[in-house]
Structure 1
């Protein structure tokens, strides 16, 4: 039998696809390739000798190249995504514990339910006073060993249920999302982007009133005295209960600190598909809220300004496992007396894999096998020492 190729390599994930979709794309190509044909044959032979009981328990009867990833990237994010093939999937857990380097762009002037510009607007806030100097000063409190509260759109469990499931169903979490210790080894400003001098813009879709009510508790927007619109939420608004009937699309591929493989998926297809729905819209009584009761409409001096005319900052950070860049963006907005959300993210390094050095360009897998096969084989071969150790 020809050589069985299995081990580790990394790809440069493009934007707009989930990490789970990246696995499916690679499988589609690898399943019919000459490079992984020996692996397919070995797997077929192994299944032929397995017990009848194991065959019945096997959910997926198809034989596909076993692929997993170690450390999810949000769909909007790009950069290093480490992949394991065959026995290489057993080593993916190691990469969740290593440091990662990110370049992120933070947009000031608003907060969203997802902490990034793919979510719905919860609140807007003045940001004319935000300068590079103020950001540089605020970043001091985020360096070193700090406590960070994960976003509601995360796969962390609370009472056996993932946080994003509470958000998707429009339900309050049973208790406060606790802060966790993380370490920021390096954090610096790469570029300051003046308002009107960049391509980024805040989302236009606004959250419903009950989503904003939940945000007061879950996202701690109500903790900031500088956030306009806080006092305008009346008692009647606070009594509104979320309706699980109204849905909205939201990609839920945030599985930080968890290895995902195609063998034993930890998330359902519904939860990882870009068409996953989250609850939203109408108040419990079925009536639309009045303009005066909506925090996004309650601050005329903010609404009168062009919402896209806001500053941004590009940051580079080297962080430990469990760190959420979106949480940093959200917290930085409050630290400078405004609001903020993440609008771009690139993972430039994870473990020993560096973007532009030993990372496969994603577009190469759509080319002829003669283009990508030697590169993939060389990268996997270089990882063998970690597989055998």
Structure 2
């Protein structure tokens, strides 16, 4: 193995990890914590926390570990991590440029705007063509306004929006649109019906629909949640799906963009796949000077069950990977 340059120990750093689809970002950090805390690479936390704050402090011996912007369980791709003093640099990755590719499945809207949620309504989709999608993409480029979904953790008067929707509490005021920038947006694959995706099995009950309508009617008295009578049942034919790729500013809701794009072609839609390929300078595939590649989660997953023997320089496989990918702080 080629020799690697090791900075003075212990190390504070940033590095990117490739998150898999399925688990939450925080659960992966919790899994990694014992691994990093036993490594000579990093400085372990000490018990110098005031007594009144001990309840919230990390366990003695745990390294300081954080993330620079979570990914939904459905999503995979780049997750920037900070260790030690590197955690103080993580805020820069909340507002940095990001790149995503996402698959939109037409004909069905969900409460979360993705396939993890429940069906809210169905709508016609057979009329939508590739040319129509290409035509409306230009409306979503540049500086645009986005309204976060009502089923989100965004707070209004101290209460998460999803609580209003679930409990049928009228919103005290409209959800404030956010200004974001879509630097580029392109259709990269038209799947049509040639795919294995399907609408979620989970469906909102009538009571849940009424609760959501009551919440939305606080700002829109005409709001209704009904299936379009012209909707085609999904088991007759697979609804159309397509993949778009985008480069956006921090704060952009990919799920909202897909939701709004489906409305722009007189249909409904939700996200079924989502990959973050860039978060600032951390990327899946480098394309620009200064780009830094990331460590696959599988490297850490393997080390959790079998860290393996150290090499001639004293490093295990996962430690060597981190050394090769990290940015020392």
Range of TM-score over shorter length: 0.7 to 0.9
Segment of structure 1 superposing worse, 322-331 or 211-220: 211-220
| Corresponding residue number in structure 2 for 1:351 | 280
Q: For the structure 1 residues 198 and 304, does the alpha-carbon distance in structure 2 shift closer, same or farther, using more than 3 Å as the test? A: closer
The match for 1:194 among 189, 192, 195 is: 192
Q: Is the 8 A contact 2:18 2:294 kept in 1?
A: yes
Q: Which residue is 1:206 aligned to?
A: 203
Work out whether residues 103 and 273 of structure 2, in 8 Å CA contact, stay in contact via their aligned partners in 1: yes
Q: 1:177 to 1:118 in 2, by over 3 A?
A: same
How many residues are aligned here?
301
Shift of residue 85 of structure 1? Answer: 0.5
Distance 1:104 1:326 in 2: 9
In the TM superposition, 1:63-78 aligns within 5 A as 63=60, 64-78=62-76
SS of structure 1 residue aligned to 2:231:
helix
CA shift at 1:308, angstroms?
Answer: 5.9
Match of 1:328 among 257, 262, 274: 257
State the partner residue of 2:149. Answer: 151
Match of 2:164 among 153, 163, 166: 166
Q: Tell me if the contact between 1:113 and 1:215 (Cα under 8 Å) persists in the aligned partners.
A: no
TM-score, reference length from structure 2? 0.84
> What does residue 290 of structure 2 align with?
none
1:213-252 → structure 2 map (5 Å cutoff) = 213-216=210-213
What CA distance in whole angstroms lies between the structure 1 residues aligned with 2:106 and 2:210? 22
Instruction: Determine the C-alpha separation between the residues in 2 that align with 1:169 and 1:28.
Output: 39
* Equivalent residue number for residue 248 of structure 2: 319
Higher helix content, 1 or 2? 1
Consecutive unaligned residues of structure 2, counting only runs of 5 or more, are 1-7, 287-292, 309-315
Query: Do the aligned partners of residues 13 and 304 (structure 1) sit closer, same or farther apart at CA in structure 2, a change above 3 Å counting?
Result: closer
Kept in 1, the 8 Å contact 2:21–2:75? The answer is yes
Please state if 1:58 is matched with 2:54.
yes
Pairwise CA distance, 1:203: 0.6
Task: Using the TM superposition, give the Cα deviation of residue 104 of structure 1 relative to its aligned residue in structure 2, in angstroms.
Answer: 0.5
**Counterpart in the other structure of 2:41:** 35
- SS at the partner of 1:155? coil
